[in-house]
């Protein structure tokens, strides 16, 4: 099983690079290398891979504090605002449909439809360029393969789009299609412009404007803002085009009861406030404060016993915390720790004059202890 997973992982890393290389070659070579297969694989593999990488990166909106140290996290907020996703997906959908109209149908479509499809490809290509720019500032800074691979499909889409549009223009020129003559001078002028292949790149840009207006009108009806396509990138933090400042990160380092207070369901684990641990912000609940207050007390009164307790906790607590990766697992750990919490509380009330003061002062930025 491990070997199979290794092979799949290796293919996921290598195949996109091979397809990108072939795509670049096909853009310049007269004799294309398996053009149809390469193009099909780019879309069939590229879109799911991009979605998968975006998902495992566990991106959050700029309004949320990052939980640093969690599994699959880059320590970055989402490069696209989640509330703008309908607009982003619509533009992507229009771009993909437009590309396949240009790439597959070719001479089967009238010139006007081809120009409109080229406009859709143009809009999507611009959006892909903006996406690449958005991710650009973290391309080198972050030592993660996710960001370079998130750029691969947009890059390949642009290369495919350029090649498809050049190809269809060449085919129309070779066919030398005769245009229909009309009695109306305006219709003749429009036909003359449309059948002149050299005008198509300019026409696709011109037609992009009304196409964008139509898309905006439709998206506004579904609750999107008119400028949502731009704000999708601006209402973010940590990226090239970001204009927002996110809250300070919350540290999750996989240690002890910090895991439970952060990952557990709020109604059960009952987080009460933010605390400071090793100079970083963490989520604090009463169980965590009681456990740390107990450790604080025994360190003061019985240093040798504290050393023994700390040794046991370090030996078994840390490995256990690595398995607390979901809210359910954190909830179960919280419930299992309840008897110990009550014992800690009894000891505090039995040997401390002001037990609640000791509990309340845990993780407030002064000297604290690991828990």
Q: How confident is the model at residue 84 (pLDDT cuts 50, 70, 90)?
A: very high
Residue 368 has pLDDT above 60, yes or no: no
Structure confidence by residue, pLDDT tens digits, 108-122: 778 788 889 999 999
User: What are residue 271's DSSP bridge partners?
Assistant: 285
How much is the pLDDT for 252? 53
Q: Tell me the C-alpha distance between 122 and 211, whole Å.
A: 11
Structure confidence by residue, pLDDT tens digits, 152-185: 999 999 999 999 988 888 877 766 555 556 566 6
Structure confidence by residue, pLDDT tens digits, 267-299: 888 888 878 776 677 788 898 889 889 888 888
pTM here is 0.68
Residues found in the chain? 371
Residue 204 has pLDDT above 80, yes or no: yes
How much is the pLDDT for 71? 42
Q: How confident is the model at residue 72 (pLDDT cuts 50, 70, 90)?
A: very low
Residue 140: burial class (beta carbons within 10 Å; 0-12, 13-18, 19+): exposed
Residue 142 has pLDDT above 80, yes or no: no
Give the residue with greater pLDDT, 58 vs 338: 338
Strand (E) positions, 166-291? 250-251, 271-277, 280-285
DSSP designation for 102: I
Q: How confident is the model at residue 363 (pLDDT cuts 50, 70, 90)?
A: confident
How much is the pLDDT for 57? 79
Residue 76 has pLDDT above 70, yes or no: yes
CB atoms near residue 292 (< 10 Å): 26
How much is the pLDDT for 242? 92
- The pLDDT mean for the chain works out to 82
Distance of CA 184 to the CA centre of its chain: 53
Residue 296 corresponds to which tokens in the numbers above? 């604080």
């Amino acid at each position: 099983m491990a070997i199979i997973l290794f092979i799949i992982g290796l293919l996921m890393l290598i195949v996109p690079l091979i397809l990108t290389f072939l795509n670049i070659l096909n853009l310049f070579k007269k004799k294309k290398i398996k053009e149809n297969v390469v193009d099909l694989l780019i879309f069939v593999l590229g879109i799911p891979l991009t979605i998968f990488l975006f998902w495992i990166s566990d991106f959050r909106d700029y309004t949320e504090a990052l939980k640093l140290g969690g599994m699959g996290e880059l320590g970055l907020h989402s490069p696209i605002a989640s509330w703008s996703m309908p607009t982003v997906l619509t533009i992507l959908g229009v771009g993909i449909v437009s590309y396949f109209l240009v790439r597959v149908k070719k001479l089967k479509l009238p010139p006007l439809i081809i120009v409109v499809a080229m406009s859709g490809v143009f809009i999507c290509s611009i959006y892909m360029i903006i996406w690449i720019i958005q991710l650009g500032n973290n391309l080198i800074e972050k030592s993660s393969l996710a960001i370079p691979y998130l750029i691969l499909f947009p890059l390949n889409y642009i290369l495919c789009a350029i090649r498809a549009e050049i190809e269809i223009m060449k085919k129309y020129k070779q066919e030398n299609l005769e245009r229909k003559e009309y009695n109306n001078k305006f219709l003749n002028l429009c036909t003359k412009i449309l059948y002149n292949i050299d005008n198509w790149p300019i026409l696709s840009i011109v037609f992009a404007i009304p196409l964008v207006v139509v898309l905006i009108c439709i998206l506004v009806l579904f609750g999107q803002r008119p400028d949502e396509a731009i704000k999708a990138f601006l209402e973010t933090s940590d990226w090239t085009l970001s204009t927002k400042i996110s809250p300070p990160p919350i540290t999750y380092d996989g240690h002890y009861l910090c895991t439970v207070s952060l990952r557990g369901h709020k109604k059960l684990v009952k987080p009460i406030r933010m605390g400071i641990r090793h100079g970083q912000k963490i989520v604090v609940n009463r169980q965590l404060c009681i456990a740390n207050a107990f450790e604080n007390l025994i360190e003061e009164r019985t240093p040798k016993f504290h050393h023994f307790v700390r040794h046991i906790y370090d030996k078994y607590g840390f490995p256990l915390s690595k398995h607390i990766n979901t809210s359910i697992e954190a909830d179960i750990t919280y419930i299992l720790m309840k008897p110990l919490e009550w014992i800690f509380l009894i000891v505090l009330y039995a040997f401390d004059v002001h037990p609640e003061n000791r509990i309340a002062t845990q993780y407030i930025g002064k000297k604290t202890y690991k828990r």
